[in-house]
Amino acid sequence: MKIQIRTTGQEGHAVIKQEACMFDSSKFTFGMIRRAGRGAVLLVALGVVCSLTACDSSPKTAEADIPPAKAPAKADADPTLDEAEQFAARVAGSPSRPANGEVQWTTPIHASPAPPRETASANPQIKTVSIEAPVTKPQPEPVKAAPKPEKLSPQQIIERLSADLKQAAAANDSLRPYLAQTALSLFDPQRELTEANLKSLKPEDRRLVLAYQRAFTMLGRTLGHSVDEDRQSLQIAAAELADQLDAKTNTLRLKNVTLCTRVNGYGVYEPFTSTTFLAGVEHPAIIYAELDNFAPEIGSDGQYTVRLTQQVVLYNQSDGLAIWRIRPTEIVDRSRNRRRDFFVVQLINLPARLGVGKYNLKITLTDQVGQTVDEAELPIQIVADEKLLNR
């Protein structure tokens, strides 16, 4: 369809020719305002209403019955008209109109369409959404007030500890529970382990525990007077314990065993010049013996006590039979300080009934505190002739 529109302004006539194709829209409105000269003039108000049923398929020319206007001077060209002509030219050059003269509907110009929606999938994917549940902190249970501990006396505490340590000692073979029991003597010196308490231990372990028992017992009786006295007591106890431990390692040892005629003290004695005696005569003699590695016992009064048992037996060298013996003798020595040099003496009388021959006088000494034993032998000869005496 061709539309020709003429508009007349105050300054002159302007003609706009537009050739446009049929729009699929039912309405098209174009407006333009022109200002020229002394005032504003409404140039064009164009409304085209096109119905699909009203348009003819053959091209027609429609011309409004408007008298022709004079062409305006080039100097008076209006830019608005130029833009209108450019727009008309673009519309006229649209490929919407085919060469055969038939009307061809063009695709309407619209705003950019919205992106198509995704169609629902036949097998929708299910996404797992992790939702953390609110964490509720556990409320602590109310703490019940602990009952007040029973107030015990020191003696009751010692009794309980002693009972627990006895159970621990029975449950294992360690020396620790026994040594812990000996330490209780620091608080109660009257509480001491006995041989009956240690009967399950080996002899060497028993002697070791008793050494600590004596040390703690001594400290329990001597500590608590003054700082100086306590320091001295600790030094003495440490030295005594060291000596006793050495004694337990080396055991009791007899040395310098001699038959003497006189003894005045340690290392001061007069030995027999010969151990050959005349038969049929009783011969008095003194057995002198020095000791090492003996174990003293610390008494309640702080004194050191050595307890020994000595036994003398005369054996016949020819057959090894015992032909004479002396009942075991108990030797007890007490002193305020531990003896470093220790010796024992025993008076004997060799019987006159001994026959001619050679004998061995065996001396056996037992440390009752340290539970160690040692022995020594002295050769003796009995002769019938005085000329055979080597005096």
Residue intervals in the chain for CATH 2.60.40.3880: 253-388
User: Which CATH class, in words, describes the domain spanning 253-388?
Assistant: mainly beta
Which of the pair, 104 or 147, is modelled with greater confidence? 147
Residues 6+ apart with CB under 8 A from 246: 293
Instruction: Give the tens place of pLDDT for each residue, 183-216.
Output: 888 888 888 887 777 878 887 788 888 888 888 8
Distance CA 179, CA 314 (A): 42
pTM confidence score: 0.43
8 A C-beta contact, residue 328 and residue 309: yes
pLDDT category at 127 given cuts 50, 70, 90 is: low
Q: Which amino acid is at 277?
A: F
Among 36-45, 154-163, 229-238, 345-354, the minimum mean pLDDT is found in: 36-45
**Per-residue pLDDT at 17 exceeds 70:** no
Q: Please give the pLDDT value at position 128.
A: 64
Distance CA 378, CA 272 (A): 12
Q: Please give the pLDDT value at position 129.
A: 58
Distance CA 11, CA 72 (A): 9
Instruction: Give the tens place of pLDDT for each residue, 52-109.
Output: 334 444 444 444 444 554 544 444 555 555 665 666 566 555 544 544 545 455 555 5
